[in-house]
Amino acid sequence: MRIAVIGSGYVGLVSGACLSDFGHDVTCIDKDERKIEALRRGEMPIYEPGLDSIVAGNVKMGRLAFSTELGPAVEVADVVFIAVGTPSRRGDGHADLSYVYAAARELAQSLRGFTVVATKSTVPVGTGDEIDRIIRETNPAADVAVVSNPEFLREGNAIDDFRRPDRIVVGIADERARQVMTEVYRPLYLNQAPLVFTTRRTSELIKYAGNAFLAMKITFMNEIADLCEEAGANVQDVARGIGLDQRIGSKFLHAGPGYGGSCFPKDTLALIKSAQDLGKPLRLVETTVAVNDTRKRAMARKVIAACGGDVRGRKISILGLTFKPNTDDMRESPALTIIQALQDAGARVAAYDPEGMEQARSLLENVTFGSDPYDAAEGAEALVIVTEWNAFRAMDFQRLKSIMATPLLVDLRNIYRKEEIRPHGFAYVSVGRPAED
């Protein structure tokens, strides 16, 4: 099949590369010339494990190409994926659909013959209807089926998620699209990934409902963690104890500094706004967002309390800046809020992240970036783990003790246990685990 992917970011590039790896003929398109030039040179514009070799292999086989022009690729395409960003609209939290609608308007002019236009971007319920309308208005002769095909991949594990999805959801309003989309995903379908066909509106809502549920699950455990600290219980044991119940499941029960990233914050907000507009407010999701918002600064207060209540003029070292490991994505990362709150309290902040520092530099002011965890920890009065990169899981605490001003570890991801840390002479504070535990 011939496929055009509009938008070559985390989702578009990974999807395009993996679809070409299935044997399809794919062109990834982006307005950002620097991104396309870098891709043509074989350089990845994002950090995603395994992506570079898939891109290189398929470019070599002639199945994957990059372009800033969507016309030529759309003209010959059987399927055009829209994978542009849908950030929060400034001011009101609704999804900003301007990139999606611009892409729809632009691609409409190049449609030739029957074409499926599949929206991979996360969009509010009803957006498919509007894309359909825009395409028909721009090009009344277009023979098009607009489908919703939300993407569920996770950054940091994106290739594997794309190749081995729990399910593929396709929302259709035109029966002809069923066969085309089945053909696109045939290799996965043969691996028995369930292909869930539904209506376009239902498909759009599945994506938001899924993300809101996961955000709620995380936030629930974070509140339970706070309760554990007060009650002298251990949140990890609570998580294990409830997670073994198959109705609950063991995933996404890790207490931490609050969710962030490019999806959960904006998608929960957009869902809240859609629901309010439809006169059916989602109060559980509204509360989830409110609880998560306050949690990040609360984590900074936890650090300040661990430092004895005052950090003015003192150096605090942050390990991990990205919203999760194995990505360079800094969008809505809890580290941003935590660092700001520490700076507001007068702290001097140093930081280290294996992949996120380039993006972080443009988002953070007055932060000193270390060349490794030890460089960042030099002279610090507290070392704070914000993101659980593997590189932080086996640190040399003897060395850290010798270079830090005060041996204090605040582990906001619970990657250590106090029995491992205290023998090195460190004070240890974690999330949802009693100090004596």
Rounded to the nearest whole angstrom, what is the least distance from the CB of residue 335 to ligand NAD in the complex? 18
- Reading the block at residue 237, the tokens are 């044991």
Find the shortest distance in angstroms from Cβ 30 to ligand NAD.
4
**117, β-bridge pairs:** 80, 146
In contact, 221 and 253? CB cutoff 8 Å: yes
Interatomic CA distance for residues 279 and 290, integer angstroms: 20
Number of residues that bind ligand NAD (CB under 6 A): 28
Q: How far is the CB of 64 from ligand NAD (least distance, A)?
A: 16
- Active-site residues, by number, are 263
| Residues 107-166 close enough to bind ligand NAD by CB under 6 A | 120-122, 151, 153, 155
Name the residue nearer to ligand NAD (CB basis): 8 or 414: 8
Instruction: Verify binding: residue 32, ligand NAD, rule CB under 6 A.
Output: yes
For ligand NAD, give the closer residue by CB, 94 or 348: 94
> Is residue 263 part of the contact set for ligand NAD (CB under 6 A)?
yes
The binder of ligand NAD chosen from 3, 5, 9, 94 (CB under 6 A)? 9
Q: Mapping DSSP to helix (H, G, I), strand (E, B) and coil, where does residue 410 land?
A: strand
Residue 8 in the binding site for ligand NAD (CB under 6 A): yes
Tell me whether residue 120 or residue 348 sits nearer to ligand NAD (CB atom): 120
Provide, rounded to whole angstroms, the least separation between the CB of residue 91 and ligand NAD. 19
What phi, psi does 115 have (nearest 5°)? Answer: -135, 140
Q: Binding marks (x or -) toward ligand NAD, 77..116, rule CB under 6 A?
A: ------xxxx------------x--xx--x----------
CB of 273 to ligand NAD, least distance (A): 15
Type of residue at 328: D
For the chain, first and last CA: distance in Å? 58
Q: Pick the binder of ligand NAD from 5, 12, 108, 208 (CB under 6 A).
A: 12
Q: Which residue of this chain has its Cβ atom nearest to ligand NAD in the complex?
A: 9
Say if residue 200 carries a ligand binding annotation. Answer: no
Owner of token pair 């010339």: 33
Phi, psi of 2 (to 5 degrees): -105, 125
- Number of Cβ atoms within 10 Å of the Cβ of 114: 14
Is residue 60 marked as binding?
A: no
For residue 257, give the nearest of 288, 294, 227 by alpha carbon. 294
Stretch that binds ligand NAD, among 9-17, 109-117, 133-141, 287-295 (CB under 6 A): 9-17
Tell me: does residue 171 bind ligand NAD (CB under 6 A).
Answer: no
Q: Does residue 152 have a known ligand-binding role?
A: yes
266 is in an annotated binding site: yes
Q: Which of residues 289-348 bind ligand NAD (CB under 6 A)?
A: none
Residue with tokens 């081995």: 164
Name the residue nearer to ligand NAD (CB basis): 103 or 384. Answer: 103
Give the residue from 381, 408, 412 showing the smallest Cα distance to 311: 381
CB environment 147-163: b (16+ within 10 A), e (fewer): bbbbbbbebbbbbebbb
Q: Is 383 in the site for ligand NAD (CB under 6 A)?
A: no
Is 66 annotated in a binding site? The answer is no
Q: Determine, following the binding rule CB under 6 A, whether residue 30 of this chain makes contact with ligand NAD.
A: yes
Residue 262 in the binding site for ligand NAD (CB under 6 A) = yes
DSSP-assigned beta bridge partners for residue 95: 88
The answer to the question of whether 207 is labelled as a binding residue is yes
Report the candidate in 89, 272, 126 with the shortest Cα–Cα distance to residue 203: 126
Residue 329: C-alpha distances to residues 30, 41, 46, 152 (Å): 18, 22, 8, 16
Query: Any known ligand binding at 247?
Result: no
Sheet of strand 348-352: strand arrangement: 367-369, 348-352, 315-319, 382-385, 408-411, 427-429
Known binding residue 388? Answer is: no
For the CB of residue 368, give the shortest distance to ligand NAD in the complex, in Å.
28
239 annotated to a ligand binding site = no
Nearest approach in angstroms of CB 416 to ligand NAD is 28
The answer to whether 9 is annotated as binding is: no
Is the CB of residue 331 less than 8 Å from the CB of residue 262?
Answer: yes
Which has the closest alpha carbon to 291: 257, 245, 316, 315?
257
Q: Which is nearer to ligand NAD, 153 or 357 (CB)?
A: 153
Segments in 164-232 forming alpha helices (H): 176-184, 186-190, 200-231
Rounded CA-CA distance 19/40 in Å is 18
Task: Report d(CA 77, CA 64) in Å as an integer.
Answer: 13
Question: Which residue ranges are tagged as binding site for NAD(+)?
Answer: 30, 35, 86, 122, 155, 266, 331
Contact positions vs ligand NAD (CB under 6 A): 6-12, 29-32, 35, 83-86, 99, 102-103, 106, 120-122, 151, 153, 155, 262-263
Question: Which residue ranges are tagged as binding site?
Answer: 30, 35, 86, 122, 152-155, 207, 252-256, 260, 266, 324, 331
